[in-house]
A and B are shown apart, each in its own frame.
Chain A
Amino acid sequence: MIKNISNLGDAALYCDFGKEVNKEINTQVIRYFKTIQKKNIVGVNNITPSYNKLIVSFDLKKINFSELKKIIENIEIIKSDSVRNKKFEIPICCDKEFSLDIKRLEEKLKINEEKIFESFFEKEFFCYMTGFIAGMPFLGDLNENLRAKRLDTPRVKVPKGSIGLTEQFANIYTFESPGGWNIIGRTPLNIFDSSKESEPNLINPGDLVTFKRITKEKYQNYNE
């Protein structure tokens, strides 16, 4: 449930679901997101779910904060619309040239490369949200032994397809972008396709993801 609604500037509502991050709270956020989306409230021009927050932005010409706050407070959440759970297996290659931060992670986490990969590949991840750049999935939760902070200085260019880790999450860079996550491999799979307007993202909030390690040869000859 929403714990508090405040204003983010003069044209957005900031719904706080509390401090914790887990699947249950995130499922609530996604339910609110879907309900508000279905309601087609006049003036609402974006709804952004994240781990435990929901931001609803609006056109100040059509509605204002207090009017929208009343609507959101009294909204009846559609419960039947369960969050979908598609499953994906994402191939990734962890060869040296792709696992840019593996050495740094070994030092930071004080475990060796093999253990890092073992702990990563055994996990089934839950997609909490997509964004930052188009289609980027935020996947959780990493085992405790893999949780590291972001790079002190973010890279100006992280290559397309890179898989990054930080704190309790993994992500996939859907195209070349600046970024500060610890890179451990790269997928040949296209995660975002702007030519598919109705469904450009391969992975969506609520989906389940596992990773499968592939050889460099397979990576190079990969056909979708």
Chain B
Amino acid sequence: MNKNYFRIIRAGINSTFQDLGRKNLYHIGIPFSGAMDNRNYLLVNKLTGNNYDHPVIEFAYQGPHLKYHGDKINVAITGDVNFKIKKDKNFIDGECYQSFILENNDELDIISTNKSVYGYLAISGKFDLKFQWSSCSINTKAKIGSNNGEKLFVDQKIDVKEINKNFTNKRLDYVNTKIENIRVIKGTNFDYFSKESKKFFFENEFKVSKLSDRMGMRLEGKKIENFFETNIRSEGLIKGVIQVPPDGNPIIMLSDHGTIGGYPKIGVVISADYDKLVQLTPGSSIKFQEVDLNSAETLFKLYDLETQNLISQI
């Protein structure tokens, strides 16, 4: 029997185990999955002294409320998250980007993400998890990953099978910045759309719809008119692709997306902007800015350097 474990008092809206996801399975219909916000995922693992492919708990909007039982353990939370630590009867305001210690009977109440969607909780040690295709990442639609492919649920026990006995406090001064524009490379069906729609796509704002999840982000705004063909032969998709179905409202493919789709691709979000894109909450405005492939590659190098730089500061 495991003597160290978390008991879930409240599961939160969409709490799942995630890591770097799965590769080379698109051809059988299985997407990457993995942590939506890669930078915050890497940072939470560095703060707890883990490897970069270590399973963590990802939560959306409202996170889980957990009670810990066992030997003391170092944990950390990243994102823009409001949470409290309960020790005896005292509630302490938690701080993101800083490791802290939980002891037997302590509680961790992850109340909400602030003006963002996803946050991450890591422990300095290992959850006892089953892997599928060498990843713990839960894809609730395909019922794949740890926890039988289900999100975390109330009263569930999460066993901790290993604790790193290194309790040094690690921290990082970091503020999640908001993004003004999402940069996009023209899609392979860009010319399916009317001149006005193409212009509108890059000049006006869209709103993020409530119907957004780990699979996709739906946008609302003026309809994108398609004058050529509203369906294409079904073909492969990747994350970041912006498809426009016949109703004219764009959908951006996110980490759990269907691997094949039959709607025209108006654009693809550049890799450098993906982490910020996924953090946009329903109701947020979104504006697209066109960039070419060379700029996108340079912007990715900058994004990666910045991430490495943050990691090295911990």
Chain A residues near B (Cβ < 8 Å)? 6-12, 14, 21, 33, 37, 45-55, 57, 60-61, 64-65, 129-136, 138, 149-150, 152, 174-175, 177, 192, 194, 197, 200-201, 204-205
* A33–B259 alpha-carbon span in the complex (Å): 15
Interface string of B131-146 (1 = CB under 8 A from A): 0110000000111100
Contact of A7 among B269, B293, B304 (CB under 8 A): B293
* A52–B258 alpha-carbon span in the complex (Å): 18
B297 A60 Cβ-Cβ under 8 A: yes
Given A48-B26, A55-B235, 9 more contacts at CB 8 Å? A10-B268, A10-B270, A10-B297, A33-B27, A48-B259, A55-B236, A65-B297, A132-B260, A138-B260
B-side contacts of A9, CB under 8 Å: 185, 238, 240-241, 268-271, 296
Contact of B132 among A7, A21, A37, A197 (CB under 8 A): A197
Asked if A134 meets B144 with Cβ closer than 8 Å, knowing A46-B26, A48-B26, the reply is: yes
Interface string of B290-302 (1 = CB under 8 A from A): 0001001100100
Contact of A138 among B185, B234, B269, B297 (CB under 8 A): B234
Smallest CB separation, B88 vs chain A (Å): 44
B-side contacts of A33, CB under 8 Å: 27
Smallest CB separation, A196 vs chain B (Å): 11
* A45–B188 alpha-carbon span in the complex (Å): 20
Smallest CB separation, B6 vs chain A (Å): 26
Pick the 5 closest A-B CB pairs, nearest first: A9-B268, A48-B236, A55-B236, A10-B296, A131-B29
A8 B27 Cβ-Cβ under 8 A: no
Asked if A134 meets B29 with Cβ closer than 8 Å, knowing A47-B24, A194-B132, A194-B142, the reply is: yes
* A152–B246 alpha-carbon span in the complex (Å): 9
B-side contacts of A7, CB under 8 Å: 185, 293
B144 A194 Cβ-Cβ under 8 A: yes
Smallest CB separation, A206 vs chain B (Å): 12
* A136–B260 alpha-carbon span in the complex (Å): 10
Contact of A49 among B27, B185, B300 (CB under 8 A): B27
Is B187 an interface residue when CB atoms closer than 8 A count as contact?
yes
Smallest CB separation, B106 vs chain A (Å): 36
A-side contacts of B237, CB under 8 Å: 48, 55
Is B178 an interface residue when CB atoms closer than 8 A count as contact?
no
Sample (24) of A-B pairs whose CB atoms are under 8 Å apart = A7-B293, A8-B265, A8-B268, A9-B185, A9-B238, A9-B268, A10-B296, A11-B238, A11-B271, A45-B23, A46-B32, A50-B260, A52-B235, A64-B297, A65-B297, A129-B27, A130-B28, A131-B236, A134-B28, A134-B142, A150-B262, A152-B246, A177-B141, A197-B133
* A53–B26 alpha-carbon span in the complex (Å): 14
Interface string of B262-303 (1 = CB under 8 A from A): 100100111100000000000000000000010011001000
* A21–B262 alpha-carbon span in the complex (Å): 14
Report the nearest B residue to A37, measured CB to CB.
B24
Contact of A131 among B27, B143, B238, B270 (CB under 8 A): B27
Asked if A135 meets B143 with Cβ closer than 8 Å, knowing A10-B271, A60-B300, the reply is: no
A46 B293 Cβ-Cβ under 8 A: no
B260 A131 Cβ-Cβ under 8 A: yes
* A54–B23 alpha-carbon span in the complex (Å): 16
Contact of A61 among B233, B236, B270, B304 (CB under 8 A): B304
B271 A65 Cβ-Cβ under 8 A: no
Report the nearest B residue to A48, measured CB to CB.
B236
A-side contacts of B271, CB under 8 Å: 9-11, 60
A-side contacts of B172, CB under 8 Å: none
